[in-house]
Amino acid sequence: MADLSHTESLEKIFEKYIPEAELKEVKRILYGRELQPLEIAAEAKSLSEKNDFEIQGYKFSAPEEELRTPRVVRIAGIQSKIVLPTTASLKEQRDAIHSKIGKIIEAAHHCGVNIVCMQELWNMPFAFCTREKFPWCQFAESAENGPTTQFLQELAMRYNMVILSSIMERDENHGDMLWNATVVIDNHGRVLGKHRKNHIPRVGDFNESNYYMEGNSGHPVFQTEFGRIGINICFGRHHPQNWMMLGLNGAEIVYNPSATVGHVSEHMWGIEARNAAIANNYFTVAINRVGTENFPFEFTSGDGKPAHKDVGFFYGSTFVTGPEGSRTPGLSRTRDGLMIAEIDLNECRQVKDLFSFRMTQRLDLYADSFKKASHIDYKPQIVE
């Protein structure tokens, strides 16, 4: 497979070569309005240097309103590599990741972050490419009181932070089923609820449909002290209607914890979460894992290549988009990182008032059209 790990980031290339005036125009056309960088706290900088992760922060400012006070919060995404080889004991693998992420969350605390989320299945390697059930299914744990949830509850309380944690869930109340779920832990350490992945991939080496079924939790939006949060897990970002239902339920911020590799999706990465922010007038945070994960045995290729031992290069590039489509640069393609955005939640409604996308949506028409199109005897509207 082609080595896609050489480039640190698109933005670094732009900044290296393009003169200032043109660079400004490139950024305007590609990324939208100019976002001011946030000052990063010294304690956070020191943690990032000691533990080799990047921090970037930007400010989305919104006009002040006369009849509402601003609702300014700081939201963040964390991207990371696994720590130990996939052949180490599962407990050691998990503990090593917990420990590393604990330090990045501490840095987020020093930066005044109110809500944080890691990538999809952040506490384990993304092992579904192996098609092996064991040992990987052992990583599954209770959303309500598994070891990863307990680890994060303690941090949520300590830092007064909402933490979203994407895990493989073991559903003990329903015969030990597996799910791909994201747990929402509020800033008092309470498990507020969970969202289960609605759309499960069957693409190339992403064989997740072997492991768990389509989610049955609907499109919940979690009301926290820092805003209303929705979650669209990984492959769900290819499905605009999944994003839309979260908007209809009132989400102001939608997290997209992902795990995706360069040769499959990198050219789409900047498109989908951003399109969702535009169409639904909320903030989106798209988070991807980093690095290449090697497994002990070769596995079949799902896309016409020889058998291999890794699923490809996870290219990081975590970024935040605002409700009118302006976005931050991406984090590094190759390093662990923390992306912070200071936002005013009031901007969501301001943009709705400006663009009227929600009011011009004709939801009833599409409810009827989708229903008809889902019938087995549907006749498409074709003019010949």
> Residue 18 in contact with residue 301, Cβ under 8 Å?
no
Give whichever of 76 and 277 is closer to its own copies, judged by the CB atom: 277
For position 366 contacting its own copies by CB under 8 A, the verdict is yes
Task: Tell the smallest beta-carbon distance from residue 315 to its own copies (Å).
Answer: 9
Task: Tell the smallest beta-carbon distance from residue 34 to its own copies (Å).
Answer: 11
- Within 312-341, the residues that bind its own copies by CB under 8 A are 325-326
Does 120 participate in catalysis according to the annotation? Answer: yes
Task: Tell the smallest beta-carbon distance from residue 160 to its own copies (Å).
Answer: 18
- Within 277-306, the residues that bind its own copies by CB under 8 A are 278-279, 303
> Minimal CA–CA distance to 75: which of 232, 210, 256, 215?
256
Distance CA 44, CA 205 (A): 37
Distance CA 149, CA 142 (A): 8
Give whichever of 86 and 180 is closer to its own copies, judged by the CB atom: 180
Give whichever of 297 and 375 is closer to its own copies, judged by the CB atom: 375
Distance CA 311, CA 322 (A): 31
Stretch of residues binding its own copies (CB under 8 A), selected from 54-62, 93-101, 141-149, 246-254: 246-254
Kindly state the DSSP code that residue 376 receives in the 8-state scheme: T
Q: Which of 11, 54, 120, 342 is catalytic?
A: 120
Task: Tell the smallest beta-carbon distance from residue 134 to its own copies (Å).
Answer: 26
Instruction: Give the C-alpha distances (Å, rounded to integers) separating 234 from 127, 173, 177, 197, 256.
Output: 15, 25, 20, 8, 6
For position 266 contacting its own copies by CB under 8 A, the verdict is yes
**Kind and range of the H or E element at 319?**
strand 319-321
For position 116 contacting its own copies by CB under 8 A, the verdict is no
> Applying CB under 8 A, which of residues 131, 137, 178, 357 lies at the interface with its own copies?
357
- Within 22-81, the residues that bind its own copies by CB under 8 A are 22, 25-26, 28-33
Residue owning tokens 């989320």: 117
Kindly state the DSSP code that residue 10 receives in the 8-state scheme: H
> Minimal CA–CA distance to 5: which of 293, 315, 263?
315
Q: What is the CA radius of gyration of the chain?
A: 21
Give whichever of 125 and 262 is closer to its own copies, judged by the CB atom: 262
Does 49 participate in catalysis according to the annotation? Answer: no
DSSP 31-90: H-S--EEPPPPHHHHHHHHHTT-EEEEEE---PPPSSS---EEEEEEEE----S-TTS-H
For position 250 contacting its own copies by CB under 8 A, the verdict is yes
Distance CA 342, CA 25 (A): 23
Task: Give CA 242 to chain center in angstroms.
Answer: 14
Give whichever of 7 and 99 is closer to its own copies, judged by the CB atom: 7
Does 225 participate in catalysis according to the annotation? Answer: no
Task: Tell the smallest beta-carbon distance from residue 240 to its own copies (Å).
Answer: 3
Task: Tell the smallest beta-carbon distance from residue 349 to its own copies (Å).
Answer: 15
Q: Which of 111, 117, 129, 234 is catalytic?
A: 234
Give whichever of 40 and 192 is closer to its own copies, judged by the CB atom: 192
> Residue 5 in contact with residue 313, Cβ under 8 Å?
yes
Task: Tell the smallest beta-carbon distance from residue 64 to its own copies (Å).
Answer: 14
Distance CA 197, CA 258 (A): 11
> Applying CB under 8 A, which of residues 138, 294, 350, 361 lies at the interface with its own copies?
361
> Applying CB under 8 A, which of residues 64, 68, 102, 370 lies at the interface with its own copies?
370
Residues forming the active site? 120, 197, 234
